[in-house]
Homo-oligomer: A and B are copies of this chain.
């Protein structure tokens, strides 16, 4: 890893060159580099935490002056319980994942002695733009090295000292490995993001790690593909055959376990046939957890009739905007629909196509819902919070994508890979194949992998 003050175009060009070399390294060389980085960071804990403390001091001052939110200050702190250890463990976890490079995913005998292979390979150069969390460097550097990609990292200025300290340690560690130093570059020059986002001749994929605003800004500012999601506007449809206790449990989990997460539920769609018996216990469970319910007229009337007066008094009226708002807080918009078709149409029109769920005991209806809802995650009788790379068993999570191409939903290492086609021949040429005189047909025999 090099800490560069180079111009963005020079850094990106160097990263591209490094990516070509990195793509030819065997798994052992990439894994060894991760082992070496892990050891170097372990040995440098004190100096890195000292640098991090300097960032924290400045950030706390900025927060006192009202220039920075306390949540950013909190995310800066590498000394927080378990954070340093998690960062180090993450490097070895990524190292120990299956090698994603060089997997043959298609093999076809085109003709005798003419063999086609589709082989996974790194994408090339990743640009990672992140905000305050310093541990992202170690995480992203691990993912990049493991997957054979070069990476350019641009972090938020609040964690500059931490970044520089981590970067120096990783850089000198890489000197002893086969991974070139320029494969991972930390760009510290200011105001370089717009320039980096214009370098589509060198950079193949942008991965933003931070707030919705950051992701939205980046998506609007570049032609380079962006892996990520700006919004997580998830809905749950409550159908009248749902089990009431299960419904309450799922809604409480989806809304309250981490309200600021992108996979938390923001809209509850209730079938009208579920208003009288099913919605009240669900609403009570949510209200008990401190959730504000913003109800349409029909659901508010039903709840007012069913709930004790002092409970019903805290219900709120929904406005149209509430159904397209990612509250990221203990607030839930409630809307009554007449059928699963209306629920599907509402979700396909209003949701952010991240994760949406149905709670029902009607299996064919659940299958129809999952086929028709156009979202990365479509769940039946479970919480939207399950949408997560670690929960899916991917071993890591590069991000969650709402893109419709390449990678969708929680993205593991596979999302950092593309493929190439290799043909090994013996002088075969295209003019030999066809239906004309002296020509022959391809064999096109699929070979088992």
Contact = CB atoms under 8 A, between A and B. Distances in A.
A422 B378 contact: yes
Contacts of A386: 110, 423, 425, 428, 430
B110 A391 contact: yes
B382 A428 contact: yes
B428 A108 contact: no
Contacts of A425: 379-382, 386
B430 A110 contact: no
How many copies of the polypeptide does the oligomer hold?
2
A389 to B, nearest CB: 11
A201 to B, nearest CB: 11
A383 B24 contact: no
Interface stretch (A3-11, A27-35, A62-70, A366-374): A366-374
A421 B377 contact: yes
Q: Which of A108, A382, A425 has the most CB of B within 10 A?
A: A382
Contacts of A428: 381-383, 386
Q: How large is the interface on A (under 10, 10 to 19, 20 to 34, 35 or more residues)?
A: 35 or more
A243 interface: yes
Given A243-B427, A374-B20, A393-B110, A123 B405 contact: yes
A300 interface: no
Interface in A350-382: 366, 368, 370-372, 374-382
Q: Which of A372, A392, A409 has the most CB of B within 10 A?
A: A392
A124 interface: yes
A385 B418 contact: no
A405 B366 contact: no
Given A257-B429, A366-B424, A380-B424, 14 more contacts: A20-B344, A20-B372, A110-B392, A116-B392, A124-B404, A225-B403, A245-B427, A377-B421, A378-B422, A379-B422, A381-B427, A383-B429, A405-B407, A408-B421
